[in-house]
Amino acid sequence: MVGKWVASPHTARKLRYIEQLKSKHGINYETHDAYRFSETRA
């Protein structure tokens, strides 16, 4: 349910699209995982 507990900047349609993109590109991390990201020099 969109917006039941917390207001969302995304519509239900956009959230479904985001899930499709995550699935397509193999993205399976949560918000807290972003704290472990680091940049490396190429």
CA dihedral for 26, 22, 1, 13, sign (positive or negative): negative
Provide the residue ranges of all domains of the chain, joining segments of one domain with +: 1-42
Three-state SS at 26? coil
Q: Tell me the per-residue pLDDT of 16-35, one tens digit each, with 9 for 90 and over.
A: 998 999 899 888 877 676 67
pLDDT tops 70 at residue 38: yes
C-alpha 27/C-alpha 17 separation (Å) is: 13
| pLDDT higher at 36 or 8 | 8
Decide if pLDDT at 1 tops 60. Answer: no
Q: And the tokens for 26?
A: 């193999």
Distance from first CA to last CA of the chain, Å, rounded?
A: 42
Q: Is the pLDDT of residue 37 over 80?
A: no
